[in-house]
Amino acid sequence: MNKNWYKSVFRRNVVDMHIPDWDESFLSKFDAEAYVGFLKQSKSKSAVIYAHSHVGLALYPTKVGYAHKALKSRNFVKEVFDLCEREDIARVLYFSLIYDCAAYDAHPDWRMINRFNREFAFDKNERLSRYGLCCPNSEGYREYVRDYIKELCEEFDFEGIRFDMTFWPDPCFCPNCREKFFKETGKSLPFVVDWESPDWVQFQRKREEWLVDFGKMVLETVRKHNPNVTVEHQSSTYISDWAFGVTADLRDAGDFLQGDFYGDHIQGSIARKLFSTLSVNQPYGFETTFNISLQNHTSKKDESLLKCKVSACMADGGAFVFIDAIDPVGTLNPAPYKIMEDVFGFSEPYEKFIGGERVCDAAVYLATESKFPYDCAPKTVIDGDLDKSNPHMTAVTNACTALIEENIPYTVITRKSLDSLSKYKVVILADVFALSYNECEALREYVKNGGNLYASRYASLMDTQGNLKENFILSDVFGVDYNGKTEEKFTYISPVSDGMEIFCGASKKYPIGIEYNQAMVSVHKGAQVLGTLTLPYTSPVYGGKFASIHSDPPGKYTDDAALVRNQYGKGCAVYAAGPVESAVTLKKVFTGIIKLLISDRLIESNAPKPVEITVHRQPDKYIVSLVNFQHQTPVVPVHDIVLSLSLPEKVKKITLLPNETPLEYKCEDIKATVKIPYIETLAMIAVEF
């Protein structure tokens, strides 16, 4: 066993094996030799092997739970493990938490109860879903998990263990949760979802706290029985909505983060940046299916798309994990492994250059306690259309998209990075509503000591306990006071004078439009107003008066501030009364504001929008990666990309990796300029100093 196995393993595999046993043919053709043969062919250097899946059936002869009928006298886990050891493939056990149909069926008192006062997955004898969900607050279920972990640690030698599904699928109202909440707060569980109610927010904070407690219990149990293996939890839900109950604190329940993602390249970029700052150890694992989706068993991604995903993962310092799914009878489709042989063959030569300390201009702040729809009316939990929208994450996504397209290297941080804010030239609060006093104080000190801050709309108007404030907690930094919000949902920001560069051609008469309401603010003495609030002719009311039948053109030009620049201490803040970063039509305006706050950019380039640029510092060089990740694949190559890098060290040599081919470059003061003639998917260069 090697507890540091993950530090040098960048090609990883998972084979989903969530197979029930109601049909005697299921898993009857499982062949460990063929399974490991495919792993070897694909050049995978670690494998996640299922010990216990969502269906709750073990693939070894368990004494704790329920063994799959296909085992008969076999032990699938041991068979695969023995062969992986022979082939020098790191072994990671898979264990499904919370999602456990067998335990759900056998123990009604362990079951989650959803907001419709029904048991998750089953209602009496009628199955409502494929998934049986067990509540992590059930002591019986917790004991079952501890016993399972003990058995696995005693039964097998392995390098790591992966716990999947460590999240709440929805608020649970089972007797265990009700009793625990009352014991800890003296209150009954609230049934009205109201983000301006401290009672509801307290329940949300408890859900988050309980999940961390459960994750740490799992970690401590593994440590007790085998301190020499790694522990990882499924981590894709950090960027998901409030219902999952996942915050930055859950990262402390494991050794490194890994998560499976199925969105576009922007989602992947954001997730990897978050993992690179939040994971306790590096590299993290970035995971996606070989197939088009989890639900389509026979589809497949094309090789060009997979190379883009692997390239982006390497550029962000991560390990790539591809997911395949076993056939119900236990066989595997050979096609994915042949394609992944080529994909991992492409990525393998770059591995020795992966990693280092990320260097970037901007840090986008993800407030994990602010992932809720703060501008919605209260609703009872039994409302079928319970709002799970996530405006903060929408703003984060759009901000990151704009930064990528403008060639501004960025990362994503949480409150776990508050002690290292000084590393960043600008911190972005993208439509953040709730912030703790500790977060606000750290941000205040950051600006006071010379940092730059962008914030929009309701940033810091609520603390993380659900207490709505009369004014922004950071009003002194923003240079404005909160006076309310517009009833108009489509609003405008007018430049204070025509020709202002950051407004990208907008004028007083034709201002920039935002499909959101805005905060109404008054300005502190000394703050500079860059833009003012402009409203439509009328407040849109269906059936009422309007100025234009399809749109709400600007008609009320006010002197109220909407974009304000404020000097605070040695630093500067720009506050936008409307979430400029959330408007997909205003990317250039948003990045213009960010450039206003960055005096000396790390990188300037003519790279087109699909090319993302990342930089990592190693002891004697910088690794600069350019990933050409287009919406359609195969990608169209790009040519003659010019990079200008402003670095504190004197550049001695620039080479194109992985072959370390020298590139011509020019130096002027602290700026080194180099041209990359051709990029198909990935160009990685080393800038030696």
- Contact indicator for 644, 672 with CB cutoff of 8 Å: yes
Residue 216, pLDDT > 80, answer yes
- Contact indicator for 41, 338 with CB cutoff of 8 Å: yes
Distances (CA, A) of 53 to 102, 141, 170: 10, 15, 20
Q: What is the CA radius of gyration of the chain?
A: 27
Residue 381, pLDDT > 90, answer no
Helices (H) and strands (E) in the chain, counts: 13, 35
Lowest mean pLDDT among 192-201, 383-392, 394-403, 610-619: 383-392
Q: Look up residue 210 and give its two tokens.
A: 């309980």
Torsion-angle region of 601 (φ positive above 0: left; ψ -120 to 50: alpha; else: beta): beta
Q: Quick one: angle between helices 198-225 and 139-155, nearest 10?
A: 30
Q: Model pTM?
A: 0.97
Residue 415, pLDDT > 60, answer yes
pLDDT of residue 375: 82
Q: Look up residue 157 and give its two tokens.
A: 């030698």
Residue 129, pLDDT > 90, answer no
Torsion-angle region of 484 (φ positive above 0: left; ψ -120 to 50: alpha; else: beta): left
Beta pairing class for 671-679 and 638-646: antiparallel
CA 260 – CA 258 distance, rounded (Å): 7
CA 110 – CA 32 distance, rounded (Å): 34
Higher pLDDT, 367 or 599: 367
At the top level of CATH, the class of 603-688 is mainly beta
Residues 6+ apart with CB under 8 A from 240: 167, 246, 371, 390, 393
**CA torsion angle 629 630 636 638 (round to 10):** -60
Average pLDDT over residues 508-533: 97
Same fold, 5-96+138-169+229-356 and 362-597: no
Residue 127, pLDDT > 60, answer no
pLDDT of residue 570: 98
Q: Look up residue 82 and give its two tokens.
A: 């023995």
Q: Could you state, in order of their start, the residue ranges of all structural domains in the chain? A: 5-96+138-169+229-356, 362-597, 603-688
Of residues 429, 416, 433, the one with CA closest to residue 374? 433
Average pLDDT over residues 135-161: 98
Residue 467, pLDDT > 60, answer yes
pLDDT of residue 543: 63
The model's pLDDT over 261-288, given as tens digits with 9 standing for 90+, comes to 999 999 999 999 999 999 999 999 999 9
Residue 538 phi, psi dihedral angles, 5° rounding: -135, 160
Concatenating the DSSP letter of every residue in 546-592 gives -SSSS---EEEEEEEEEEEEEEETTEEEEEESS-GGG-GGGHHHHHH
Measured CA angle at 685 (ends 684, 686), to 5 deg: 135
Superfamily of domain covering 5-96+138-169+229-356: Glycosidases (3.20.20.80)
Helix (H) or strand (E) holding 233: strand 230-233
Q: Indicate the pLDDT class of residue 259, thresholds 50, 70 and 90.
A: very high
Tell me which CATH code domain 362-597 carries: 3.40.50.880
CB atoms < 10 A from the CB of 640, how many? 10
DSSP structural state of residue 23: S
**What is the average pLDDT score of the chain?**
96
Of residues 186, 195, 206, 161, the one with CA closest to residue 51? 161
pLDDT of residue 119: 64
Q: Indicate the pLDDT class of residue 118, thresholds 50, 70 and 90.
A: low
Of residues 10, 14, 105, the one with CA closest to residue 57? 105
Residue with tokens 């123990």: 107
Residue 605 phi, psi dihedral angles, 5° rounding: -155, 155
Residue 122, pLDDT > 60, answer no
Average pLDDT over residues 514-534: 97
Residue 123, pLDDT > 60, answer no
Average pLDDT over residues 203-225: 98
pLDDT of residue 245: 98
